């Protein structure tokens, strides 16, 4: 049963239990990321992050594509200030997804190209249909996928990400999984059920602890090993003092299901 609904122009939002669904809803534009579309996504993700009712978010796309990247129709004949603002907002969207405490799962049913591939790569997890394909084809139209490169190169190895960026060629869902861009590949019929299953598994844990872990994961990635250990041992020491950690350890020893307190 859907517990909450909110109306946007370019996206759909609904919440079912602990799982929030954000659906890009510009099917005629293949969910291309116009400025207004990205701003709505930012607003929605921020509200989910601040609300705390949802434990996990599933991001999906309506229509024939997951997301076709930037909306090129609004990028013709503009001044440099517009482009700078456009890419500022795009980067803000990606940062918002990684900074919010709830894990975000991309449910990719079809093509994810350019900034759409960036969007999938930015999400914490990706569950893809066998029919999904991924590409960063900007080089073919004279606009190298430089901002998508940031997320792609952090999910995929250097050689493969460079190949995708230089050739613009598509890779299949199975190849994307083998290269680290996708977590699971399932049939189109199983996609929604499998993504929901992953979300529910995550939602079983303490949302407070998951949020702390997600934040720590991204912060330590760019640190040298010694600094990463120094940072994460402080995080883990802080975490161990939480009521939820004490409850979780006690429940494990007592062989019962934990009751999270959110503190």
Nearby residues of 17 by Cβ (< 8 Å), 6 or more positions away = 3, 203
Comparing CA positions, the residue from 209, 190, 215 lying closest to residue 130 is 190
Please state which architecture CATH assigns to domain 207-253: Orthogonal Bundle (1.10)
Superfamily of domain 4-203: 2-enoyl-CoA Hydratase; Chain A, domain 1 (3.90.226.10)
CB 95 within 8 A of CB 142: no
The pLDDT, as a whole number, for residue 3 is 43
The pLDDT, as a whole number, for residue 1 is 32
- Judged against a pLDDT cut of 80, whether residue 242 lies above it is answered with yes
SS3 content of the chain, % helix, strand, coil (to 5): 50, 20, 30
The pLDDT, as a whole number, for residue 7 is 83
The edge-to-edge listing of strands for the beta sheet with 65-67 is 65-67, 111-113, 133-135, 171-172
- Judged against a pLDDT cut of 50, whether residue 210 lies above it is answered with yes
- Which helix (H) or strand (E) segment holds residue 212: the answer is helix 207-221
- Judged against a pLDDT cut of 80, whether residue 173 lies above it is answered with yes
Locate the domains of the chain by residue range: 4-203, 207-253
pLDDT band at 47 (very low <50, low <70, confident <90, very high): very high
CA 224 to chain centre: 25
The pLDDT, as a whole number, for residue 57 is 98
Nearby residues of 1 by Cβ (< 8 Å), 6 or more positions away = 16
Q: Is the pTM of this model over 0.85?
A: yes
Pairing assessment for the beta strands 19-24 and 111-113 based on DSSP bridges: unpaired
The pLDDT, as a whole number, for residue 51 is 87
């Amino acid at each position: 049963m859907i517990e909450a609904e909110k109306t946007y122009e370019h996206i759909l939002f609904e919440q079912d239990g602990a799982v929030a669904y954000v659906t890009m809803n510009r099917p005629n534009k293949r969910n291309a990321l116009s400025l207004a579309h990205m701003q709505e996504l930012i607003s929605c993700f921020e509200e989910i992050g601040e609300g705390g009712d949802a434990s996990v978010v599933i991001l999906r796309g309506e229509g024939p594509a997951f997301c076709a990247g930037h909306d090129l129709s609004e990028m013709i004949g503009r001044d440099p200030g517009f482009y700078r603002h456009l890419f500022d907002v795009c980067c803000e969207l990606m940062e918002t997804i990684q900074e919010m405490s709830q894990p975000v799962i991309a449910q990719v049913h079809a093509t994810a190209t350019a900034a759409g591939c960036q969007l999938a790569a930015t999400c914490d997890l990706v569950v893809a249909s066998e029919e999904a394909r991924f590409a960063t084809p900007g080089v073919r139209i004279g606009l190298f996928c430089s901002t998508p490169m940031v997320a792609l190169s952090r999910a995929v190895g250097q050689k493969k990400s460079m190949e995708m960026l230089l050739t613009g060629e598509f890779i299949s869902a199975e190849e994307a999984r083998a290269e680290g861009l996708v977590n699971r590949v399932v049939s189109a019929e199983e996609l929604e059920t499998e993504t929901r299953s992953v979300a529910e598994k995550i939602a079983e844990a303490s949302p407070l602890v998951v949020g702390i872990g997600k934040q720590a994961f991204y912060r330590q990635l760019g640190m040298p090993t010694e600094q990463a250990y120094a940072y994460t041992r402080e995080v883990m020491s802080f975490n161990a003092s939480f009521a939820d950690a004490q409850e979780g350890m006690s429940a494990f020893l007592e062989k019962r299901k934990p009751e999270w307190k959110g503190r």
